[in-house]
Chains A and B, each alone.
Chain A
Amino acid sequence: MADEVLTAPLVLEYPFTRTTGPVIGGFLTGLREGVIHGVRRSDGTVMCPPLEYDPITSAPLSELVAVGTVGTVTTWTWNGEPRAQQPFTQPFAWAMITLDGADTPMLHAVFVDSADDMATGMRVEVVWRDEREGHITDIAGFIPAVASTTGEPAAMPSDVEQVQSVRTPIRMEYTYTPGRALSQYLRAMKDKRILGDTCPETGEVSVPPRGVSSVAGKPTLPELVDLPDTGYIESFNITRVPIKMRPDLTPPYVSAWIVLDGASVGFMGLGMNVEPEDVRVGMRVRAVWKPDDELEMSAQNILGWEPTGEPDEVIADYALVGRIEQGDDQ
């Protein structure tokens, strides 16, 4: 279908760093040493895992208390389809577990063969990860406790290095849909055509098309318009130092606001086949396309923009974008 919207996977991931502070840092240090700590609240009860501030009174909390490695399931649910980054790859139970010596439960995974092996009130014991680093994942999960296990807290070694920060990677997977107007634009890109859409009130042309006019707040005209692959540089930036996030771009390079002939709004494009020092505001440019056999439904078909050699555009008002023929309407 010609007007079917496109989709593509989009993955965002980043290893955030957390500065822990002394309470969470102390808890994580304990995990590395095989000891689980709670924190004593102002009313004397022990909260595990610990929080830095009392959930009722907001008072700062600081006294870490070692608790047991065996505890009681207070409620649970079955997870039949584990996802990536969950504690086990096979189905397991999520359970609220109150460790011996603690007054509040922690949420964690209990590894059993089936839901039939789970019960509220059952006793479970911690399973440590083989290599511990001072991270919440040092606890691999829980299993039903063997009767002989006491779960008495181990002694915390003295003079150990405190955990100050942890890495907490996040990863999110989206299905990205560019929408109907942009999908039409991307399909046309495969044929080296550039489409824009028109504001029903002002007649101004936006490229890429958006389906809605930001000025009028109304849908754009249904018929998209073809624009040439020539235009001018409205203004530009020269990035002169390497940007760590963009190893694919070698400085110095020019990122320019390109206004296509017939368009009313500019977009960012890469300057090509020109020395950065020679780039000017008003310079006439044309698109540099990928070879025909590499064309896709993507704006990446345009590698960049190179000078045409024509005389520069004269821009009357440098403050305005895409309105070289109109005066200051402020």
Chain B
Amino acid sequence: MGKERAAVLGVGQTKYDTTYPGSMAGMLREAATNALEMSGKRWDDIDAVIMGKAPDFFEGVMMPEVYLAEALGCVGKPIMRVHTAGSVGGSTACVATSMIQSGVHETVLTIGWEKQSESNAMWALSLPQPFATSVNAGAGGYFSPIIRRYMMMTEAPELIGCMVALKDRKHALNNPYAHLHQPDLTFEQVVESPMLWDPIRYSETCPSSDGACAIVLGSEKVAEAHDGPVAWIKGIAMRSESGSFAGRNMVSPAASEACADDVFAQAGIHDRRKEIDAVEMYVPFSWYEPMWLESLGFAEKGQGWKMVEEGATSIDGGDLPVNCSGGVLSSNPIGASGMIRFGEAALQVMGLAGDHQVDGAKTAVGHAYGGAAQYYAMWVVGADK
């Protein structure tokens, strides 16, 4: 293909919280400044800015890239917005990477964000439509029947989802940026939490967060000159499919499997569970961890829940730690959530994940999905070129 190599030079985040205390522009600026600082780059070094956020109704700012150009040092430079619903943070990082792989740019800033405090995602996901009936409110009502399917199909024990929720909240304690810090949370509390969208408990859902995540990407030349660790991008992939059609596999959509097959082939990964050291996976409802473990090929069909039960996905002794940052279950600034997965995967192979570092992580995966489980984005990053 003749692609240029690309690498992550810096990752910047804001503290995820219910309300970011400043403006939207200020929030993005903070994340971008943090990413620049890690990358050793200055605003003048950035060739282009590629940004992404959830649908406009989530915050009511139309064409935010116009309003945010000054805050992101982008006056007189190309700026582009990517839009793939909840997976947008991942897709945005993929598009930004392709800007370097194609040889168009040398150094690119990419950023995803959401300020859920300014809006109500539940409203934005439940817009009325004439002539139609609607019985749902929010994403949980849509995903709950699919999770019910998974539970029936695999005969997984009923509390697997609770185990995922507790694991991710414990992981979050080691990530200062995570929104939810619940040091005293017990398994009993997770189990006893009220059913919201049965079979999904309140404790098995993600919070509403404000926050931004930015990544500075560089070409091989730029990365070689960088004084510090980088994460080499071994593969990027995106796929999509219609949200409803005859024969659609809702539990493991074909687009999800195709995205995984593509990205692992690019990265030369054969035994996914063995060769991958850390996964940052988009899990907004706890049961999606075992579902994606199967769909992405880390487990055989019907076996994903066993990895959860065995503790294989825990940073404490698991062979495939998943969401060491605490994941979407601990922080969900929607438009940033995919970018956080990609950024956290990069931090793992750079050895810069701090207290949630997987010892010796060499190869990691970032993953995001969005819409009615329609849009997929993944990357594989490695410590070695």
Contacts and interface: CB of A to CB of B under 8 A. Distances in A.
Interface stretch (A144-152, A221-229, A253-261): A253-261
B146 interface: yes
Interface in B1-59: 19-26, 29, 43, 57, 59
Contacts of B138: 243, 245
Contacts of A10: 128-130
A237 B198 contact: yes
A214 B57 contact: no
A58 B249 CA distance: 48
A281 B70 contact: no
B247 A322 contact: yes
B248 to A, nearest CB: 5
Interface in B337-371: none
Contacts of B25: 21, 52-53
B60 A170 contact: yes
B92 to A, nearest CB: 20
Contacts of B140: 237
A269 B196 CA distance: 18
Contacts of A323: 246-247
Given A320-B248, A321-B250, A268 B198 contact: no
Nearest to A23: B23
B22 A237 contact: no
Interface in A283-330: 297-300, 302, 317-323, 326, 329-330
Given A255-B141, A297-B131, A19 B115 contact: yes
B332 to A, nearest CB: 18
Nearest to B76: A56
Given A17-B118, A53-B71, A56-B75, A239 B137 contact: yes
A53 B57 contact: no
Nearest to B74: A58
Interface stretch (A70-78, A81-89, A135-143, A199-207): A199-207
A302 B133 CA distance: 8
Contacts of B246: 199, 202, 204-206, 214-215, 264-265, 321-323
A218 interface: no
A261 to B, nearest CB: 15
A174 to B, nearest CB: 9
Interface in B242-283: 242, 244-252, 254, 257
A18 B118 contact: yes
Contacts of B142: 237
A160 interface: no
Contacts of A299: 131-133
A214 B248 CA distance: 10
B185 interface: no
B221 interface: no
A317 B70 CA distance: 53
B126 A245 contact: yes
B189 interface: no
A237 B197 contact: yes
A238 interface: yes
A56 B75 CA distance: 6
Contacts of A214: 242, 244-246
A121 interface: no
A42 interface: no
Given A8-B130, A235-B149, A243-B122, A270 B135 contact: yes
Interface string A226-257: 00000000111111110111100100110111
A21 B26 CA distance: 7
A256 B57 CA distance: 26
A12 B23 contact: no
Contacts of A55: 70, 75
B249 A330 contact: yes
B123 interface: yes
Contact of B145 (A12, A204, A243, A256): A256
10 contacts: A12-B57, A18-B24, A20-B23, A235-B145, A237-B140, A239-B196, A243-B122, A265-B244, A299-B131, A319-B249
Given A178-B131, A255-B136, 12 more contacts: A14-B119, A17-B118, A52-B23, A55-B70, A204-B247, A214-B242, A215-B247, A253-B135, A298-B132, A320-B249, A323-B247, A330-B254
- A-B complex: 7 closest residue pairs judged by Cβ atoms: A21-B23, A235-B145, A8-B130, A264-B246, A237-B144, A238-B198, A214-B245
